[in-house]
Structure 1
Amino acid sequence: MIDDNYEPSTLFEATANLVRSVTQEYSIDPDRLYTTGQSMGAMMSLGLNIRYPDLFAAAFIVAGQWPETQAAPLAQRKLWILVSADDTKAYPGEQAITEVIRDQGTQVSTALWDGRSTDAEFAADVRSMKAQRTPVNFAAFETGTVVPSGSTTSVHMATWQVAYTIPGIRDWIMRQSR
């Protein structure tokens, strides 16, 4: 869909057209469409939110990135961004995007989480961020907390295995509307 130079393939446009078509054909509320992705899927979600700012009500971005020079339209979006602090490519990329969003005047809540937290601890972390009532939430897992001991999985790939188990984020996303 997107290459490492942020050039979309024809499937990028096809995806946007598919979302619109399915929304029109079926009983789907166009004001409550959401996107999420990890790595290249996060790039796709970011790119779609930039190119089509009225398509999705909110996005959950996991370990992704996009050139910050193109990120200004994201300041108008509702985003929950989650990345590992020791992801040497996605973490600085997401930080740069978040700075652009802030520079556009959008409030952003930030937090550093332990990727080994229990469900109850994650629930408290999510509640704390949600209480700030910002349209953009940026959380990073502390260095060394998402890859299980003895695992050969990369930090980048391990992030989604934790991120998508945190139900409070899904709940926040699903409560958003345009």
Structure 2
Amino acid sequence: MKKSSAGLFQQDAPMHSDRQLPDLTVKVKQLKDIKAIDGTVYHAKGKTVTSSSVSEPEIEQFQQFTYTDPETGYQLPCNIYLPKGYDSSKKYPLLFFVADASADINVTATPLFQGNGATVWTEPEEQKKHPCIVFAPQYTDDLINQIGMLTADSNTWTPGLTLVSHALQSVIDNYAVDTNRIYGTGQSQGGMTNIALSDKYPNLFAAQWLVACQWNTDEMKVLKDKNLWITVCEGDTKAHPGMDEAVAKWEALGTKVAKNDTFWDSKAPLSTINQQVKDLEKQNAHINYTVFAGGNHMYTWSFAYNIEAIRDWLFSQSKDGTPVKNS
């Protein structure tokens, strides 16, 4: 237990997650006779039939592989999505997503169902606008036992961050990635991972979307010129005061930060929220900070990635500042 600079008592996240793989099996029992159009009668036998397989189209679009770090020998399960018609002779933007610590279990596909922070980018309409490669590594419970947590409230570089950063670089080196358009995002642990990587590798990302996360605000000063969209909830007792403090320090350094004057309503129609985002963009600040009323830490990513206008903002950014024409 520690006291934050905002005066609130905080507790580090537990090292091990109790998250379980969801059971998607379905059981069906025919209770009455059914008569088909052709007159055939299918009599109820009172037998329960259990589904023999489960189809998960959003998850099945991803390929799974294991990255082995040549320096340490540690292995990191990974998920990657390649756009339809992927052509290795072309260059594609890369969307890098890391889930929160409650997803740190020994199931490779967990980042694909622990919220929609990875899968939203692969939806047909999204790919039509923003065709991209999506990379979602899975930090496992086994890795926590071997080398410790990926991130912690000590805000220090960890062996896990080294492993994830090496895996990301391997994807950049081995796939047709446009290095001018690498986008990072993540929730909680995932946002902290993004901040740490951006701090250590300042020329890596074109833009980042940081959801419900915080980091050492003195270290975050180096992000003052980055393209960032920050989303937190008022009731998040760690990310909200943490990001308030970071924003204040950026502004003290002369950075313009676009902020909503009043807390937004996460339950408002998406059309309303999207318009609020577009209005905020008109301030022409490269750092945008949006706080939603109420809520709490984990609630934030239950709605954040549904905001189309922030997704569009992310993909409009480039590392060299060249305007991006979306599809």
- TM-score, normalised with respect to structure 1: 0.90
Deviation at 1:7, TM superposition (A): 2.3
More strand per residue: 2
Q: How does 1:83-162 map to 2 (within 5 A)?
A: 83-111=232-260, 112-143=263-294, 146=295, 155-162=296-303
Secondary structure in 1 matching 2:283: coil
1:172 maps to which residue?
A: 313
The answer to whether the 8 A contact 2:153-2:215 is kept is: no
Secondary structure in 2 matching 1:68: coil
Secondary structure in 2 matching 1:81: strand
Please say which of residues 19-28 and 40-49 is displaced more in the overlay: 19-28
Give the letter for the 2:317 counterpart: Q
1:58 maps to which residue?
A: 207
Deviation at 1:30, TM superposition (A): 0.5
Structure 1 vs Structure 2 CA RMSD: 1.2
Query: 2 CA distance for matches of 1:52 and 1:117?
Result: 37
More helix per residue: 1
Query: 2 CA distance for matches of 1:19 and 1:107?
Result: 30
Query: 2 CA distance for matches of 1:5 and 1:18?
Result: 23
Q: Which has the higher contact order (CA 8 A, sep 6+)?
A: 1
Deviation at 1:123, TM superposition (A): 1.2
Number of residue pairs the alignment of both structures matches: 168
Deviation at 1:140, TM superposition (A): 0.1
Q: State the identity as a percent.
A: 34
Query: 2 CA distance for matches of 1:64 and 1:2?
Result: 11
Structure 2's unaligned 5+ residue stretches are 1-149, 320-327
Structure 1's unaligned 5+ residue stretches are 147-154
1:82-134 per-residue CA deviation (whole Å, 9 max, x = no partner) reads 00111111100011111122122221100131111101101111111111111
Runs of 4+ with deviation above 6 angstroms:
none
2:188 maps to which residue?
A: 39
The answer to whether the 8 A contact 2:183-2:205 is kept is: yes
Query: 1 CA distance for matches of 2:190 and 2:299?
Result: 15
- TM-score, normalised with respect to structure 2: 0.50
